[in-house]
Amino acid sequence: GRNEDARKDLEAAVTEWPGLADALVDLGDLAVVRQALAEAREWYSRALIRHPGDTGAIFGIARLDFLENDFEKALAGFTEVLSAETRRDLHAQSRWMRGLILARKGEYDLAMADLNAAVELAPGSPEPFAYRAVILLQLHRKREASLDLHRARELLPSGSPLSGFVDRWLEAAKED
């Protein structure tokens, strides 16, 4: 389909212009969508070899570390992205993903600070609202959590895989 066509176009671009880090990062992102995580790591690593410090590649590797439950490495990667000048979307995603890791570690104040920043950076994205709501529920702040979950629900595109997650937490927010 479209992802396969995009992959072929990007591979052709990388063959013609080997130093094209954006194409390497995009190939990594497409591999993540296909759940080919080892292939994604290879694309991101190639981007970093050609362009050390590329925040798209650093974010990609941190996301892979997160998906593979290596939370300490992911935390370091997201923090590195946040310390660099980078695209607003990467900054927002790094904030909410780092917030999730900090919450896992019980560092709720730091987690909430990251998730609040992610909401400010990406007010049209459902993820930071949904994830912040989960932490608010853990802190027994149901009213605020419910507001965030409803906002996340409004922002979700039709058929989003996040829909079930939000619906389950909305039910949990209703319970006493």
Three-state SS letters, 108-173: HHHHHHHHHHHHHHCCCCHHHHHHHHHHHHHCCCHHHHHHHHHHHHHHCCCCCCHHHHHHHHHHHH
- CA distances (Å), 125 to each of 22, 109, 112, 131, 139, in order? 23, 22, 16, 11, 23
**Do the Cβ atoms of 65 and 73 come closer than 8 Å?**
yes
**Do the Cβ atoms of 133 and 142 come closer than 8 Å?**
no
Q: Is 13 helix (H, G, I), strand (E, B) or coil?
A: helix
- pTM listed for this prediction: 0.83
Measured distance CA(78)–CA(66) in Å, rounded: 10
Condensed to tens digits (0 to 9), the pLDDT of residues 102-142 reads 999 999 999 999 999 999 999 999 999 999 999 999 999 99
Element (H, E) at 76: helix 71-83
Condensed to tens digits (0 to 9), the pLDDT of residues 49-106 reads 988 999 999 999 999 999 999 999 999 999 999 999 878 889 999 999 999 999 999 9
Q: Which of 9-13, 81-85, 148-152 has the lowest mean pLDDT?
A: 9-13
